[in-house]
């Protein structure tokens, strides 16, 4: 007999029904892994949550929370598996500790799945209301995951559809949460139909709602995909393919610089307007080093602007270190700088340091702990204005749209994914950046040290990309755009509206409980 205060663990009691529900919850988490890169089976997302939704329909909300937690734990451990080998190789941690870190993160993120499942069981609806409420509840917990504590908007349900161009166009109004809403609602419709033993009237209302949602989104996508016209900008995205093992080794600095100088000079024949180097491609403090002159001369030799990235500091006795990007113009030199604002927790800084004083950074860096920048720099070249997001920052849609509001006419992302080897991480990175292009109807160009470098058009189409671990340059033309989408103007108003409605529904249900 489980004491009353431990009733939330009652899902674990052994009975045929509970074993079945445990299996269904685990199956949902495992299926959802397959919807994301890799193996990148986006259509699986439309049915992956069905087993979980079936398992919680007749459960008490406490039991449902446990089932949701299991599904979330399996999903996040399976899709973020690459964290463990990364901290082993570059954080010098033993495997048991690395696996513990992975499970700790997966366990934290699984709490949002638990809240979702508990909410579904608590409301206990069927039919159209169940379909719409399930979609709304999923969006609610994705938004919370993206905003509170250690904000982590990674592998949101909508991200799984990055190759589904007609469907994802609604992101210019709803952000990625609109796609998550549609996908979760389809899962709910299927679960409602299956659990209702295929009763025709009941199945019709649920499935019709799902069809209307998908059909409306797809029709919108076919109708609104814009063709941006205007001046053409020639860009070259350099991928030096510098191994992380030698990136910060002073003995290899000259070799690293020679690789990027040669790649830069090789672009002279295409007369680029802008050549972009990846995140911290310069492995020393560029502004304070005599080698700065040779880098600035490259802009003169190609007769185009050069965007480079390097660590930086303010020159004080107790220096403040930043991860920075510098715009270099011909015959002028460095004209403007952007310091990375949103740092990677535990990679570039330790959050809650006074509390977590025993925790050190889990991966190597160029210097000590970094400090966040404070200015949202918009760079300017003769033909357009643009903003730069450095690595992790591109996954925060609100941050990117603020740059667009400040005048950015195309978007640049620079990153270093060498940490992750040939795992799913570089592919997951690329799948998420697609949505920043659609949300803002801007070209997005991405330079990555070891890949994947790419050019994404305003409709989310990956028009050109590199492979992993090759030294290359991705070249192409882009067109700036100054128009503001609904999303660029108003942000996550759709998602917050959904949260408000869900909150009211739950409050009413609680008053009746």
Query: What pLDDT does 431 receive?
Result: 97
Going by the DSSP 8-state scheme, the letter that residue 420 receives in this structure is G
Return the bridge partners of 237, or none: 276, 474
SS3 track for 164-213: CHHHHCCHHHHCHHHHHHHHHHHHHHHHHHHHCCCCHHHHHHHHHHHHHH
Strand pairing of 384-390 and 410-415?
Answer: parallel
- Nearest 5°: phi and psi at 261? -65, -40
Residue 407 has pLDDT above 90, yes or no: yes
Listing DSSP states for 353-372 in one string gives: TTTSTT---SS--SSS----
| 3 state SS of 412 | strand
What does the pLDDT read at residue 8?
46
Q: Is residue 19 scored above 60 in pLDDT?
A: yes
| Of the listed ranges 26-40, 180-194, 351-365, the one predicted with least confidence | 351-365
Q: Identify the CA nearest to 173 among candidates 408, 504, 497, 503.
A: 497
Residue 363: per-residue pLDDT: 56
| pLDDT exceeds cutoff 90 at 306 | yes
pLDDT at 368 (0 to 100): 56
Contact 150/31 with Cβ under 8 angstroms? Answer: no
Residues 221-242, mean pLDDT to the nearest whole number: 92
Helix (H) or strand (E) holding 297: helix 292-302
Beta strand pairing call for 384-390 and 305-313: unpaired
What average pLDDT does the segment 429-439 reach? 97
Q: What is the mean pLDDT of residues 388-415?
A: 97
Other C-beta atoms closer than 10 Å to the C-beta of 43 total 12
SS3 state of residue 305: strand
pLDDT in tens, 310-320: 999 988 888 89
Longest dimension (CA), the chain: 80
Q: How confident is the model at residue 53 (pLDDT cuts 50, 70, 90)?
A: very high
Confidence of residue 456 (pLDDT cuts 50, 70, 90): very high
Highest average pLDDT, of 85-94, 218-227, 401-410, comes from 401-410
Could you give the domains of the chain? 4-225+492-512 (no CATH), 233-342+368-480 (3.60.110.10)
Average pLDDT over residues 229-250: 92
Residue 415's H or E segment, with its range, is strand 410-415
Higher-pLDDT residue of 269 and 446 is: 446
The pLDDT of residue 281 is: 95
Task: Judge contact between 510 and 118, C-beta under 8 A.
Answer: no
pLDDT > 60? residue 108: yes
Q: What is the pLDDT of residue 41?
A: 97
Helix pair angle (176-195, 200-224), 10° resolution:
160
Alpha-carbon separation of residue 13 from 53, 55, 62, 63 (angstroms): 20, 15, 13, 10
pLDDT at 9: 47
* Secondary structure class of 135 (helix, strand, coil): helix
Rg of the chain taking only CA atoms, in angstroms:
24
Q: pLDDT at position 4, please? A: 52
The predicted pLDDT at position 466 comes to 97
> With 50 as the cut, is the pLDDT of residue 460 above it?
yes
What's the angle, vertex CA 394, arms to CA 393 and CA 399, rounded to 5? 70
Rounded to whole angstroms, the Cα distance separating 504 from 513 reads 14
Nearest to 344 by CA among 450, 432, 419: 419
- Does residue 156 carry a pLDDT above 90? yes
Q: In angstroms, rounded to a whole number, what is the distance separating the alpha carbons of residues 50 and 384?
A: 47
* pLDDT attached to residue 12: 46
Question: Rounded to 5 degrees, what are φ and ψ at 306?
Answer: -130, 125
DSSP strand E in 265-352: where? 274-276, 305-313, 321-329, 333-339
Helix (H) or strand (E) holding 250: none
Report pLDDT digits (tens) over 468-501. Answer: 999 999 999 999 999 999 999 999 999 999 999 9
What is the model's pLDDT at position 366? 46
What per-residue confidence (pLDDT) applies to 311?
Answer: 94
Looking at every residue in the chain, the average pLDDT score rounds to 91
pLDDT of residue 362: 58
Q: pLDDT confidence of 11, banded at 50, 70, 90?
A: very low
């Amino acid at each position: 007999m489980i004491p009353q205060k431990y009733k939330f663990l009652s899902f674990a009691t052994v009975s045929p029904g509970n074993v079945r529900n445990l299996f269904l919850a685990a199956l949902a988490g495992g299926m959802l892994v397959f919807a994301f890169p890799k193996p990148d089976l986006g259509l699986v997302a439309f049915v992956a949550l069905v087993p979980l939704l079936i398992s919680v329909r007749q459960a008490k909300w406490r039991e449902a929370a446990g089932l949701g937690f299991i599904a979330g734990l399996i999903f996040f451990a399976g899709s973020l598996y690459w964290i463990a080998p990364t901290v082993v190789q570059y954080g010098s941690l033993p495997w048991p500790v690395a696996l513990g870190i992975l499970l700790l993160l997966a366990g934290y993120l699984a709490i949002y799945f638990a809240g979702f499942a508990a909410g579904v069981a608590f409301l206990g609806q069927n039919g159209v209301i169940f379909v719409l409420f399930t979609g709304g509840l999923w969006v609610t917990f994705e938004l919370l995951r993206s905003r509170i504590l250690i904000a982590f908007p990674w592998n949101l349900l909508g991200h799984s559809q990055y190759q589904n161009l007609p469907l994802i166009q609604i992101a210019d109004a709803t952000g990625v949460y609109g796609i998550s809403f549609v996908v979760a609602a389809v899962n709910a419709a299927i679960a409602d139909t299956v659990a209702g033993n295929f009763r025709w009237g009941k199945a019709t209302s649920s499935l019709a709602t799902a069809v209307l949602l998908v059909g409306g989104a797809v029709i919108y996508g076919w109708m609104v995909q814009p063709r941006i016209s205007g001046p053409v900008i020639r860009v070259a995205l350099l991928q030096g393919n510098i191994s992380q093992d030698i990136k910060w080794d002073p003995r290899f600095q000259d070799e690293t610089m020679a690789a990027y100088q040669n790649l830069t000079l090789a672009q002279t024949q295409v007369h680029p307007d802008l050549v972009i180097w990846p995140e911290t491609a310069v492995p020393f403090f560029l502004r304070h080093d005599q080698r700065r002159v040779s880098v600035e001369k490259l802009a003169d030799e190609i007769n185009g602007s050069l965007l480079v990235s390097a660590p930086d500091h303010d020159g004080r006795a107790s220096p403040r270190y930043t991860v920075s990007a510098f715009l270099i113009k011909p015959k002028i030199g460095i004209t403007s700088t952007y310091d990375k604002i949103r740092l990677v927790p535990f990679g570039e800084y330790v959050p809650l340091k006074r509390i977590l004083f025993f925790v050190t950074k889990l991966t190597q860096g160029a210097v000590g702990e970094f400090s966040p920048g404070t200015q949202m720099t918009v760079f300017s070249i003769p033909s357009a204005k643009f903003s730069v997001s450095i690595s992790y920052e591109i996954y925060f849609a609100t941050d990117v749209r603020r740059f667009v509001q400040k005048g950015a006419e195309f978007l640049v992302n620079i990153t270093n994914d060498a940490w992750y080897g040939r795992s799913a991480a570089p592919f997951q990175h690329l799948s998420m950046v697609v949505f920043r292009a659609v949300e803002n109807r801007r070209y997005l160009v991405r330079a990555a040290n070891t890949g994947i470098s790419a050019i994404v058009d305003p409709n989310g189409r990956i028009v050109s990309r590199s492979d992993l671990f090759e030294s290359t340059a991705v070249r192409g033309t882009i067109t700036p755009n100054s128009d503001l989408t609904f999303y660029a103007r108003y942000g996550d108003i759709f998602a917050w509206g959904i949260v408000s409605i869900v909150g009211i529904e739950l409050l009413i249900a609680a008053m009746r409980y």
